[in-house]
Every structure is written in C-alpha cells, then in structure tokens.
Structure 1
Amino acid sequence: MNRLNASHVRQGRPLPWDVFDAQNNLLLSRGYVIESQHQLDGLLERGMYVSEEDFAAVLATPQAPQESERFNPFWLWDDISSKVSHFLKYAATEPMLEDKFSGISLLVTTLVDNDADAALASILLKDSSRYAFAHSVHVAVLAAILSRRFGWPEATRRDVVRAALTMNIAMLDLQTELLLQKEPLTEDQRREVDTHAERGSLFLRAQGISSPNWLEAVRLHHQRIAMAAEGHRASGRVLSQLLRVLDVFCAKISPRSYRRAIQPPVAAREIYMQEREGCAELVDALIKEIGLYMPGTFVKLENGETALVVKRGVTVSTPKVIALSRGDGMPYIDGLRRDTARPEYAVKTAVPPEKILHRLNLSKIWGY
C-alpha cells in the first residue's frame, strides 16, 4: 500500500481508485467525489492509501493542468517525495529509469526556482520518517539551490540533482537501519558504507544511465577531493564534492535516536571547519544561502513571541518571520508578520522543533 498526498487527490473530482486507511479498511470507493477542502485535509491527515498497482498507475499517468490550479510548493514537495520513494524502491525493475529521474529533477528545479524559501523550510518541516528517501530529496533541493547560485547551466543542474537523488541507491536499507542505531558500525556495515558509492554508480550504469557527470558524481561523492585543482569547471568531480558536503549537512540537521537535530548554521560551521583546506568555497556558499536562520527554523523574538522563519531577509540575521504565539504561550489564531530588523522583534535565539506544539498549515502560512 502507498500513501497518497495532496498532489494525488483533488477536491470535486471522482477518485480513480479505491482508497483505504492504514489498517487496509476501505475508506472511499472508486468514483467517490470529495466535496470540500476541509474533508480532503482531514482524510489526508488520517491517511489515504491505494494499492501498489493503482499507485504505479497514478505515477505513470500525466495529470493535465487545470486552470484553477496554481503553484503550491508544499504539494509539489509531496509529489516529488512520492515519486522519489517509488522509483528508488523499485529502481531494479523500473523501465526508463533515467527518464524518470530526469522528470523528477525538473520538478525539483521548478520548486526551488519558484520558491526556494518554501523548499528550504520543507527540509525542516515536512515529514521525513522515511529517512532514506527524504534525505535524497533534501540533498537534491539544496543542490538545485546552490547550482543556481553558481550559475551552472541547466544540463549541469539536472546532473547534480539526479545524482543527489540516487547517490545512496546502494544502501537505502542500511540508511534506515543506522538512523535508529546507537552502537558503532559493524565491520559489515562499514564495508557497505565504504563501497556504496562505487556500487551505486555501477548499478545506475547497468540500468542504462548514460550521463558521465551523473555517474561520476555518484561514484566519488564519498571521496574527499581538493577543489583547488578543479578550478571552476562543473565536472563530475566538482559535483561529487557538492554532494559530499550536502550529504553531511543534511545528515547533521536530521535528528537521530541518540541526538537532536543540529541547527543548520551550527552544522554548516562544523563542516566549514573541517573543509578549510578542501571544499570551503562550497560550504561558504551554503552558509550564505541558508543564513543564520534557515526558513523552517523556529525562533524566540526579543518580545518573547515564538515565531517561524518563512523567508531569508536582507541580512543573514534579519529573516522574515511569522509570530505563532505570545510570550506567555497563547497561540495567535492567525500568525502575525514581524520585521526582525526592528529591535523589539529581533531574533533572540533558535528554538528546538520538539518544543513547538503548534499545528502548522504550511500552505496558509506561506500564502498558498
């Protein structure tokens, strides 16, 4: 069974398949029409599932755009995540794999080129319980943002995003296992980690992947290569180092069973200290993109309010925020925009997400 998201279901349209709940009980029959957005939101929150066969048909059938539809980065994020999970899981038997990931790379660049702040926030706020798949999307989104900053041509951006999505294709199960493991890696696990990049590249080649930069970026993304010798050529070797940096960064900002998630600027600084003689230029670009308070970060303001960063500001220390609650914890019915450049609304500190009890409607907060 596969879970549906907002990109798969539309209000006012007949359902093309039977829909089940998480316990495999029939919720809605084929042809049922969901009449209201409130009803749809409730069903999606509860969990709407379809069979593997029906889900594959959903992915394979192009959806005709409707005039009433408009861009929503959070719906697009859900669509990307569903496709990535499916194609990575069934990569060994999926036909035309290169075309499938090329299509997803276009969705990723569309997402970040239309609203990079919402894309960054999704890394911190959207569900990442299926870590191995979510991690691939996180790295791909950051790769798309940084490749745009570097002015790389679209073909190169496509290569680095496709490589990000598939770089760990040879160790997906182990990634999930290690997320919960507190003990050091066993010898077998260490061997699998050390060889996964080479094995992943060979697997992709066997599946018909033909792009040299894509394959080289996957093959080398766990090796440390001095960037000084590479110049500014966007080669597969350079792409691999961007992926290596982002791979480590995204792992650090994700929680583990034995530690909390590390705040993004702290994680970036830790990597910068390690990369001073290697890829410091790449890490510096990452720091400039995310700022001190990456969108999706919860913060405490000088006036005591708890707020959510929704957009990077003019300076790294003055992001755009939405105040969620007063200093005494009383939530606002609708969030209030605050200018953190004003002293009374200045950001005082970041707040760990596990201390936030608010239920967030991301589309509403971002104005979609």
Structure 2
Amino acid sequence: IETDDPRWLKAEEATQKTPTQLIAGFRETRDIHEEMPRAKFTLEKTHEHIEKVLNDINNGEAFAVEESRAVVRECMTSIISNANAMLWLTKIKNEDKYTSEHCMRVGVLSIAFGRFLGLPDQDLQLLGLAGMLHDVGKTKTPPDILNKPRNLSSDEYEIMKQHAVFGREILGKQEGLEQLVIDTAHYHHERVDSSGYPEQLDASLLHQFIRMVSIVDVYDAITSDRCYQRGKSAFEALKILFGETNKHFDKKLVEAFIRMIGIYPPGTLVEMSNGEVGIVVSSNPDARLKPKVELVTDANKKLRSPYVIDLSATPKDSTGTPFAIKNGLPNHTFGIDIKDYLFRPQT
C-alpha cells in the first residue's frame, strides 16, 4: 500500500528525537572509493557462498555454518569501514539470481542496519547470519510458483507461504545455529498487527532482529526487478514502508531504516528539477536531501560527460537556478544503468 502522507519524509527528523543509543549512525573510517574494491570482492565472495549454501540444501546436505559466519564477518569489516560502499553495490542486481542475491543483500543490509543502530559486533554477526539465511526455505518451493511471471492464485500463494515453515525445518537440522537465526527464517513474514504468517504471532513475541530483517526483506523485494514486475526506486520503497508502520512494521525501526538508507541512497538514479539525470554517489549525513550527485545526462536526457555536484554547497545550473532533486528513479530509466558508472573516478 503506497502513501502520499507527507509525514514519511520527516521520518529522519523523528529519529533525531529518539534516544542516542537507538540511532548511533555510521562512523566511517575509510573513503568510499578506497573501500569500494574490497566491498565488491567481499560481496562477490558472499554471493558465491550463498549459492553454495542453497545448492547444498537442494541436495539434502548440511552447509558449512562456520563458512557462513566467516563471510558475515568479512561483510562486517567492509561495512564498519564505510557502509556506503556496500550499500552502493547492493543496487546492482541480477533478476535471474533473485533468491541468492536477495539473501545476500538482506544479510548485508541487516548488518548495515544493526551497525547504524550501534549494535555490538557479536550482535551484528548474528543479525547478518539471520538475514543471510532468512529465505532458505524457498529451496523447497516449486520453481513454477517461485518464478511465476504473473500474480499467484490463492492456492499457489498458500504454497509459497510454506517457505517460512521449510526454513525453520532446514535450519533446525543444522548443528551450531542459534535459535534466533532459525526463528528469523520462520517468522520474518509475521507482522506487528498479527496479520502475517505462518502463525499470526502477537507483536510482543517478535524479537527486534526479526522485525529488522522483515523491514529489510520487504525493502529489497520492492526495489528489485522480478519476473513479474520492475523494481521501484528506493524513494518509493521507503514511502511504502512508512505507510505500513504500526500495521506491518515497527514504526521506530522503519524510521531508523529510512534515516540509514537516506531518501536518496548512494547508487540511486535521480532526476533533477531542471530535467538533468544523475546518480547519487554519496550521502550527506547532515542533510539527506542534499547528497553528492554525478550528473550523466543533460536536460533532454542525452548522455553527457559526467561530473559531480555537491548539493549541500547549493550549486547552480546554466540558468543560475540552484540544483535540486525532483524525484528518485528506478535503475535503467532513460536507458541508464548505474553499473556503468560504479567505478568511475569522481571529479
């Protein structure tokens, strides 16, 4: 359900009034461009591991839990150095590998979310592992339902919902996994108004980590291309999440997530008020609506030699009008693929 409620844009302001222990923010120790190569290598390694995990499960074999913990720790190292690098990279998506990439992104975004909230490292590892393994139950979902290019029938939807139960069964057989990781796979579709599945649990029974993974799971699903729909922009996804606060999602956690991602997160394609199109290259923690943007087209949407502007410095266009972001756009709009600009040096 989408919302036009203007209050959602003030979610960032609302989080500033919460206790400081809830909103710790990011403390970057490395420049984003310095961190990007390591983040890319780590993300590729993580994706390879998750594909192996899903293949092992498909073959009825146990997977290497300690290897899973190791890749989570490597993701943590990169995120602690500069979270924006991995947040940028999670914007690059492959529709044909949705389940494995989705598990990877939910794991990474969950770690970043926990880091933003100031959770200790041992909690980040547990939260990242829970996010990474939350959808393993889909290995037992029939492919014709999982990959159906149209809306599911009511019977098909009931079958799809079983992946939460399958996830609990699969992870429950693994040695050395914490119960909270198993519970996250089982309950990540439960909702705070008890409208979720598989058990319609009361909100008081949902651990904070499950609530966090639920938010990240939906955000990534909304912003991803699927076989039946194109992904929405981050801006639209955050608006949808805010519209479901206190119904499907924990309000304080959604507000915190919006503050973490930013209205226009790194890697977001944006249209400027004068018609030019650009890509957000880094966020401004003091003014989320004024990030650095690499302009890649002119006002007529024709590709041009890219250059970076810092909106917090109030730059002006050729007419003397201050630049401003008009709206966020899904990737591939106007034929622009953000991947083509990922490692371009900034000017």
Q: Which residue of 256, 259, 262 corresponds with 2:226?
A: 256
Q: Which runs of 5+ in 2 are unaligned?
A: 1-34, 195-201, 317-321
CA contact (8 A) 2:95 2:226 kept: no
Q: Is the counterpart of residue 355 in structure 1 residue 318 in structure 2?
A: no
Please name the residue that 1:80 is paired with. 46
- Give the partner amino acid of 1:310: V
Please name the residue that 1:53 is paired with. none
Please name the residue that 2:255 is paired with. 284
Q: Which residue of 135, 145, 152 corresponds with 1:184?
A: 152
CA contact (8 A) 1:116 1:145 kept: yes
Alignment partner of 1:327: what SS?
A: coil
Distance in 2 (alpha carbons) for counterparts of 1:298 and 1:290: 14
CA contact (8 A) 2:138 2:166 kept: no
Distance in 2 (alpha carbons) for counterparts of 1:76 and 1:276: 35
Decide whether aligned partners of structure 1 residues 218 and 259 sit closer, same or farther in structure 2, where only a CA change above 3 A counts.
closer
CA displacement at 1:362 relative to structure 2: 1.4
Moved over 6 A (4+): 226-229
Decide whether aligned partners of structure 1 residues 125 and 97 sit closer, same or farther in structure 2, where only a CA change above 3 A counts.
same
Pairwise mapping of residues 262-277 of structure 1 onto structure 2 (< 5 A)? 262-277=232-247
Q: Which has the larger radius of gyration?
A: 1
CA deviation map 1:159-182 (0-9, x unaligned):
111111111111135578444431
CA displacement at 1:355 relative to structure 2: 2.2
CA contact (8 A) 2:273 2:325 kept: yes
- Give the partner amino acid of 1:82: E
CA contact (8 A) 2:36 2:86 kept: no
Please name the residue that 2:94 is paired with. 127
Decide whether aligned partners of structure 1 residues 180 and 130 sit closer, same or farther in structure 2, where only a CA change above 3 A counts.
same
CA deviation map 1:302-326 (0-9, x unaligned):
3433210111123121111111222
Decide whether aligned partners of structure 1 residues 366 and 190 sit closer, same or farther in structure 2, where only a CA change above 3 A counts.
farther
- Give the partner amino acid of 2:116: R
Percentage identity across aligned positions? 20
Please name the residue that 2:17 is paired with. none
Distance in 2 (alpha carbons) for counterparts of 1:201 and 1:77: 26
Please name the residue that 1:312 is paired with. 283
Pairwise mapping of residues 285-300 of structure 1 onto structure 2 (< 5 A)? 285-300=256-271
Distance in 2 (alpha carbons) for counterparts of 1:158 and 1:219: 19
Distance in 2 (alpha carbons) for counterparts of 1:267 and 1:244: 14
TM-score (norm 2): 0.75
CA deviation map 1:280-333 (0-9, x unaligned):
111111111111112211112234332101111231211111112222444344
Q: Is the counterpart of residue 110 in structure 1 residue 77 in structure 2?
A: yes
Decide whether aligned partners of structure 1 residues 204 and 72 sit closer, same or farther in structure 2, where only a CA change above 3 A counts.
same
Q: Is the counterpart of residue 238 in structure 1 residue 212 in structure 2?
A: no
Distance in 2 (alpha carbons) for counterparts of 1:303 and 1:191: 47
Q: Which moved more, 1:120-129 or 1:260-269?
A: 120-129
Please name the residue that 2:18 is paired with. none
Q: Which residue of 186, 195, 199 corresponds with 1:219?
A: 186
Q: Which moved more, 1:300-309 or 1:218-227?
A: 218-227
Distance in 2 (alpha carbons) for counterparts of 1:108 and 1:214: 17
Q: Which moved more, 1:122-131 or 1:352-361?
A: 352-361
CA deviation map 1:16-68 (0-9, x unaligned):
xxxxxxxxxxxxxxxxxxxxxxxxxxxxxxxxxxxxxxxxxxxxxxxxxxxxx
CA displacement at 1:135 relative to structure 2: 0.7
Decide whether aligned partners of structure 1 residues 212 and 130 sit closer, same or farther in structure 2, where only a CA change above 3 A counts.
same
Alignment partner of 1:259: what SS?
A: coil
Distance in 2 (alpha carbons) for counterparts of 1:356 and 1:70: 26
Decide whether aligned partners of structure 1 residues 139 and 81 sit closer, same or farther in structure 2, where only a CA change above 3 A counts.
same
Distance in 2 (alpha carbons) for counterparts of 1:101 and 1:177: 28
Please name the residue that 2:130 is paired with. 163
TM-score (norm 1): 0.71
**RMSD of the TM alignment (CA)?**
2.9
- Give the partner amino acid of 1:248: V
- Give the partner amino acid of 2:71: I
Greater relative contact order, per chain length (Cα 8 Å cut-off, separation 6+) = 2
Please name the residue that 1:150 is paired with. 117
Distance in 1 (alpha carbons) for counterparts of 2:310 and 2:108: 27
- Give the partner amino acid of 1:340: L
Distance in 2 (alpha carbons) for counterparts of 1:268 and 1:87: 30
Decide whether aligned partners of structure 1 residues 165 and 303 sit closer, same or farther in structure 2, where only a CA change above 3 A counts.
same
CA displacement at 1:143 relative to structure 2: 0.5
Please name the residue that 1:28 is paired with. none
Decide whether aligned partners of structure 1 residues 356 and 255 sit closer, same or farther in structure 2, where only a CA change above 3 A counts.
same
Alignment partner of 2:162: what SS?
A: helix
CA contact (8 A) 1:85 1:133 kept: yes
Please name the residue that 1:346 is paired with. 324
Distance in 1 (alpha carbons) for counterparts of 2:170 and 2:344: 42
